[in-house]
Structure 1
Amino acid sequence: MAIAVIVDYNEDGLQFSLSILKSIGHFEDVYGFSCPDEACCFIKERGCDVLFVETEVKGLNCFVLINKLRKIKQDILFIIMASNEDYAYEAFQKGVIGYVLKPLSLESIAKTIGKLEKLHRSQRRIVP
Structure 2
Amino acid sequence: MRALIADDEAHLREYLEGQLKSVWPELRVIARAANGIEALAMIDEQAPDVVFLDIRMPGLTGLDVAARLVGSAKPPHIVFVTAFDQYAVEAFEHSAVDYLLKPASIERLEKTVAKLKARVAVPAAAVPAVALQALLAQLGAAAVPATAPASAPLQWIRASHGEETRLIAIEEVIYFQSNDKYTSVFVADGESLIRTPISKLREQLDEQQFWQIHRSVIVAARHVAGTRQDFRGRLMVQLKGRPEQLVVSRNYVDLFRGM
Would you call these one fold, judging by a TM-score over 0.5? Answer: yes
* Aligned position for 2:114: 114
* Aligned position for 1:58: 58
Give the Cα–Cα distance (whole angstroms) in 2 for the partners of residues 125 and 30 of structure 1. 24
Bigger strand fraction: 2
Deviations 1:20-76 (A, max 9, x none): 223331313342211222221111111011111111111533211101123445331
Indicate if the aligned counterparts of 2:118 and 2:125 stay in contact, CA closer than 8 A: no
* Aligned position for 1:9: 8
* Aligned position for 1:69: 69
* Aligned position for 2:27: 27
Give the Cα–Cα distance (whole angstroms) in 2 for the partners of residues 46 and 69 of structure 1. 14
Question: What TM-score, normalized by structure 1, do the two folds share?
Answer: 0.79
Aligned residues: 124
Displacement after TM superposition at 1:8 (Å): 0.5
SS of equivalent to 1:79: strand
Higher relative contact order, structure no. (Cα contacts within 8 Å, ≥ 6 residues apart) = 1
* Aligned position for 1:85: 85
Displacement after TM superposition at 1:78 (Å): 0.8
Give the Cα–Cα distance (whole angstroms) in 1 for the partners of residues 26 and 96 of structure 2. 20
- The amino acid across from 1:82 in the alignment is T
Displacement after TM superposition at 1:100 (Å): 0.9
Q: CA RMSD in A?
A: 2.5
SS of equivalent to 1:60: coil
Displacement after TM superposition at 1:101 (Å): 1.1
When residues 59 and 96 of structure 1 are mapped into structure 2, their CA distance, relative to the original with a 3 A threshold, is: farther
- The amino acid across from 2:56 in the alignment is E
Indicate if the aligned counterparts of 1:81 and 1:99 stay in contact, CA closer than 8 A: yes
Bigger helix fraction: 1
- The amino acid across from 1:81 in the alignment is V
- The amino acid across from 2:107 in the alignment is E
Displacement after TM superposition at 1:12 (Å): 1.1
When residues 59 and 75 of structure 1 are mapped into structure 2, their CA distance, relative to the original with a 3 A threshold, is: closer
Deviations 1:82-123 (A, max 9, x none): 113322234467x66211111112222111010112233444
Unaligned 5+ runs, structure 2? 127-259
Unaligned 5+ runs, structure 1? none
Give the Cα–Cα distance (whole angstroms) in 1 for the partners of residues 9 and 108 of structure 2. 19
Identity of aligned residues (%): 23
- The amino acid across from 2:14 in the alignment is Q
* Aligned position for 2:248: none
Higher Cα Rg, which structure: 2
Indicate if the aligned counterparts of 2:37 and 2:60 stay in contact, CA closer than 8 A: no
